[in-house]
């Protein structure tokens, strides 16, 4: 028997005045899964988290988290989740230990619970040497680890993270994700929004949002493989002029710079890459080489957002 989803959204919709921040969004997240929400700024990712966690009410649709309706029973939901917002409420004039004690008091933790959990969290995050340091004097990565520890104090079943590593250095980001993997191995479920596509690669499944809508939801590997267009690396002497020609060309769905080359998605049923190479050469932009490559997640996300925008126009 398939295990019931621990997060389930059905037609979630939220307006802010004339703006539709979330538009009939439906998704399911399984227990023990890391699910990533990605998309451009303003896509609606943070509003989705706030709807799921019961911080705002939907105008339409519903959400169940750990079996409770987020709008009807927000307190029940909050008892079972941890939510780490983009600006978590750390107190800069309190030490690491004092911040954790403050949040332990808020959660009503007993002395025995603190003695059992706090050392483990400090060991997991490698923050034990910094227990006496003021939070305001921690590095960006250490502040995020402290915020995560405070979020985990009441042992949530589901962890909601809103761009938790934004502005954090690459080494600290890697360490943060190692902690998330450890938590998932122990049975936790994680829903994370991120602006970093290398982090999207680390998720079991990814949902791509654009203008409040969930465009597609799949594994990173399926995102790269499941497209009707074929991705080609285009190498030619004048990259800018080649892009200008290929942009809008019938049969070319997307073309974007990729390092010193271009990555172009071509509908080969409409036009052959050899024909495109000949066109570039005829315009004095050759020699042009088209070589089929596996697209990156960034390539695919740009393609899907362009197609979604074209469909909405």
pLDDT tens over the chain, length 313 residues:
467 999 999 999 999 999 999 999 999 999 999 999 999 889 999 999 999 999 999 999 999 999 999 999 999 999 999 999 988 788 999 999 999 999 999 989 999 998 889 999 999 999 999 999 999 999 999 999 999 999 999 999 999 999 998 888 888 889 999 999 999 999 999 999 998 888 999 999 999 999 999 999 999 999 998 889 999 999 999 999 999 999 989 999 999 999 889 999 999 999 999 999 999 999 999 899 999 999 999 999 999 999 888 775 4
Domain with CATH 3.40.50.300 in the chain: 7-223
Any bridge partners for residue 83, and if so which? 160
CATH for 7-223, among 1.10.10.10, 3.40.50.1110, 3.40.50.300, 3.40.50.2300? 3.40.50.300
The 3-state DSSP class for residue 143 equals: helix
CATH for 228-294, among 3.30.479.30, 3.30.43.10, 3.90.170.10, 3.30.70.100? 3.30.70.100
pLDDT value of residue 89: 84
Angle between helices 170-185 and 111-125 (to 10 degrees): 130
Query: What whole-number distance in Å separates Cα of residue 292 and Cα of residue 308?
Result: 24
Q: List C-alpha distances in Å: 154 to 2, 167, 213.
A: 28, 27, 33
Domain with CATH 3.30.70.100 in the chain: 228-294
Do residues 249 and 275 lie in contact, with contact meaning Cβ atoms separated by under 8 Å? no
Q: List C-alpha distances in Å: 40 to 46, 167, 285, 306.
A: 11, 16, 33, 12
Give this prediction's pTM: 0.91
**φ/ψ of residue 104, rounded to 5:** -65, -40
Q: How far from the centroid of its chain's Cα atoms is residue 158's Cα?
A: 16
Query: What whole-number distance in Å separates Cα of residue 168 and Cα of residue 180?
Result: 16
Nearest partner of 299 among 188, 224, 217, 206, judged by Cα: 224
pLDDT value of residue 195: 85
pLDDT value of residue 15: 97
Query: What whole-number distance in Å separates Cα of residue 20 and Cα of residue 158?
Result: 27
Residue 196 is classified by DSSP as -
pLDDT value of residue 104: 93
Expressed in percent and rounded to 5, the helix, strand and coil fractions of the chain are: 40, 25, 35
Do residues 46 and 193 lie in contact, with contact meaning Cβ atoms separated by under 8 Å? yes
Query: What whole-number distance in Å separates Cα of residue 16 and Cα of residue 50?
Result: 13
pLDDT value of residue 2: 64
Query: Given phi > 0 = left and psi -120 to 50 = alpha, else beta, which region is 28?
Result: beta
């Amino acid at each position: 028997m398939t295990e019931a989803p621990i997060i389930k959204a059905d037609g979630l919709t939220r307006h802010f005045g004339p703006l539709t921040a979330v538009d009939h969004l439906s998704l399911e997240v399984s227990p023990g899964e890391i699910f990533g929400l990605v998309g451009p700024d303003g896509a609606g990712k943070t509003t989705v988290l706030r709807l799921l966690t019961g911080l705002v009410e939907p105008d339409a649709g519903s959400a169940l988290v750990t079996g409770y309706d987020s709008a009807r029973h927000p307190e029940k939901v909050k008892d079972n989740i941890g939510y780490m917002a983009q600006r978590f409420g750390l107190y800069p004039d309190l030490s690491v230990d004092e911040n954790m004690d403050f949040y332990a008091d808020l959660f009503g933790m007993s002395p025995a619970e603190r003695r059992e959990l706090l050392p483990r969290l400090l060991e997991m995050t490698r923050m034990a040497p910094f227990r006496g340091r003021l939070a305001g004097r921690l590095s960006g990565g250490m502040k995020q680890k402290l915020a995560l520890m405070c979020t985990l104090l009441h042992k949530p079943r589901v962890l909601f993270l809103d761009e938790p590593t934004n502005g954090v250095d690459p080494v600290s980001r890697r360490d943060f994700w190692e902690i998330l993997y450890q938590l998932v191995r122990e049975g936790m479920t994680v829903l994370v929004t991120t602006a970093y596509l290398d982090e999207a690669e680390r998720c079991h499944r990814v949902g791509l949002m654009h203008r409040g809508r969930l465009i597609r939801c799949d594994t990173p590997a399926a995102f790269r493989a499941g497209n009707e267009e074929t991705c080609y690396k285009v190498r030619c002497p004048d990259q800018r002029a080649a892009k200008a020609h290929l942009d809008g060309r019938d049969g070319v769905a997307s073309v974007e710079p990729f390092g010193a080359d271009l990555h172009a998605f071509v509908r080969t049923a409409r036009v052959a890459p050899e024909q495109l190479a000949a066109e570039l050469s005829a315009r004095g932009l050759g020699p042009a080489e088209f070589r089929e490559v596996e697209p990156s997640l960034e390539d695919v996300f740009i393609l899907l957002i362009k197609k979604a925008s074209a469909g909405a126009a």
